Amino acid sequence: MAQLGEVFVCKLCGNEVTVTKAGGNPSIHCCGQEMTKKSK
């Protein structure tokens, strides 16, 4: 489950998404693949 404040990055296009609301979809997809959680 996504946690508030986590940042996910797409390795293909570099798009970054910050989770603004915890819960919901456990994974975020971009460019047809799952986005990777960005380490701080």
Binding site for Zn ion (CB under 5 A): 10, 12-13, 15, 30-31
Q: How far is the CB of 35 from Zn ion (least distance, A)?
A: 7
**What separation in angstroms does the CA of 14 have from each of 1, 9, 31?**
22, 6, 10
Compute the least distance from the CB of residue 12 to Zn ion, in Å.
5
Beta strands (DSSP E) in 1-40 are 7-9, 16-18, 29-30, 33-34, 36-37
2 vs 30 by CB, closer to Zn ion = 30
**Cβ proximity to Zn ion, 1 vs 31, nearer residue:** 31
